[in-house]
Amino acid sequence: MFSISLRKAPEGFLTQADIRHISKGRRDLFAGAFKTALSGMALASLPSLAKDDPNIMELPAHSKGLGQGVATNPYGVPSQYEKNIQRRESPGLTQVTQAGVSFCPLQSLFGIITPSGLHFERHHQGWWDIDPTKHRLMINGSDEKMLKRPMVFTMDELLRMPSMTRTHFIECGANSGMEWGNVAVPTVQYTHGMLSCSEFTGVPLRALLELCGVDFKRAKFVLAEGADGSSMTRTIPLSLIQNDEVLVAYGQNGEMLRPENGYPLRLVVPGVQGVSWVKYLRRIEVGDMPYATKDEVIGYADLMKDGLHRQYTSIQEVKSVITSPSGGQVLLQKGFCNISGVAWSGRGAIKRVEVSVDGGRNWRVARLQTPVMSKCLTRFQIDWSWGGDASLLMSRAVDETGHIQPTYAQNRAVRGSRGIYHNNSIQTWLVEQSGEVKNVQLS
Ligand SMILES: Nc1nc2c(c(=O)[nH]1)N[C@H]1C(S)=C(S)[C@@H](COP(=O)(O)O)O[C@H]1N2
Ligand SMILES: [Mo]
């Protein structure tokens, strides 16, 4: 048995998730068509439905007139009907817009790729649109023995090199951070929205280090440094770089990085927390010790139960969340309801996702959308028929290394409840009898 803590959302949050513009009538048509299709009577019933529907019987302007001209939008933008699908700031987190976060609207996305304009943002000192002709990347050693030829690269030089393209998730280490202390933020956008997934293109860092003549026997770590005012600096172990996964990236989803995401150059460190994906990357130093910079000491260290901190816990462990139905959404009717969500692991590919609709008593294995890629979001779905009772929806992911997503009780037993970082606990959504979906925790 468990008890449910239904937690009050802090002030100022948009508590309704984006609800797509599906009118009641349109939903009824879909639901009706679905049921009749199942019983093999779709053809008999559709004509009468159609006769009553002015959206079918009356020709709309767009079927009669001339549409808009080619290239009226030289750079395409979303439909006017999708305006409420936006990145949003959390009123609870910080009031300083330059050093803030905007969360990705996970509840409104399909598949695994985050549209570049909806990628979450985390800036420690605001974003810049840096002139790529003036941007430089310097690679140096902590002393001459570490690296033979310190070099400076222009963007042109980097773009001329052979490139690699890989699809990976990026998750801020503080994602789901407010939930540690049992503060209920109302929607999945705020609970899990410091998460995005893109196709990145760039040059493997290892290739650049080889060009500079790094002594791989001596060197153990690199320090990556950003060009913005925050001087974001992070230590990355060389062992992560050897396999060519770490990219000095300029491409995101087929075009150049967006300014908010580090244009013209950022580090891509698959599986590792977002803070190490240094944006506006201007310098890499090679050394033999972790650097213990300000961004590794005053933040991004995990506060444990006994008051000590864990440092350099950079891997994003296995995690998943149901994005639909999720907090703030409303089930409009009983019956068939597709449950859909995403799963990911910083250790490799997702092996299995299980879903429970009864608070974890029973679990069923969800369908995984292929391709299932390493250190990348994986979309899962499962059929569900909602009978109208209160239901507790949960998802639990397992990765290829055998790691299983833990419950809150398991995580808190080891790590307490005062931390911010690396919360990969199982998320629960309560579907109330009214159809309203709420963020709850089970204990
Ligand atoms: N130069 C620089 N790099 C940075 C940051 C920053 O503020 N400045 N923020 C870091 C943090 S904490 C995260 S979670 C990710 C966020 O990347 P995004 O803004 O592209 O989502 O960038 C990291 N790289
Ligand atoms: Mo972050």
Structure confidence at residue 211 as a pLDDT band (50, 70, 90): very high
Give the number of the ligand closest to the Cα of residue 233: 1
Separation of 50 CA from ligand 2 center, angstroms? 51
Separation of 100 CA from ligand 2 center, angstroms? 10
47-95 residue pLDDT tens = 677 888 999 999 999 999 999 999 999 999 999 999 999 999 987 665 5
How high does pLDDT run on average in the chain? 90
**CB of 295 closer than 6 A to ligand 1?**
no
pLDDT number for residue 86: 96
pLDDT number for residue 107: 97
Structure confidence at residue 15 as a pLDDT band (50, 70, 90): low
Separation of 235 CA from ligand 1 center, angstroms? 14
295-318 residue pLDDT tens = 898 888 889 988 898 888 899 999
pLDDT number for residue 173: 96
Contact assessment for residue 296 and residue 312, using Cβ atoms and an 8 Å cutoff: yes
pLDDT of 22 above 70? no
pLDDT number for residue 40: 39
Residue in 218, 241, 223 with CA at minimum distance from that of residue 233:
223
Residue nearest to atom 21 of ligand 1 (CA): 121
Q: Regarding predicted confidence, which is higher, 170 or 297?
A: 170
Give the number of the ligand closest to the Cα of residue 104: 1
Q: Which domains does the chain have, with CATH numbers?
A: 101-310 (3.90.420.10), 319-440 (2.60.40.650)
**CB of 122 closer than 6 A to ligand 1?**
yes
Distance CA 428, CA 425 (A): 10
Query: Which residues neighbour 247 within 8 Å (Cβ) at sequence distance 6 or greater?
Result: 164, 166, 200, 201, 202, 203, 204, 205, 267, 268
**CB of 105 closer than 6 A to ligand 1?**
no
DSSP per-residue string spanning 184-225: --SSHHHHH-SEEEEEEEEEEHHHHHHHTTB-TTT--EEEEE
Half-sphere exposure of 40 (CA within 13 A, CB side): 0
Residue 431 CB burial class (10 angstroms; 0-12, 13-18, ≥19)? buried
Residue with tokens 């299983």: 404
Structure confidence at residue 321 as a pLDDT band (50, 70, 90): very high
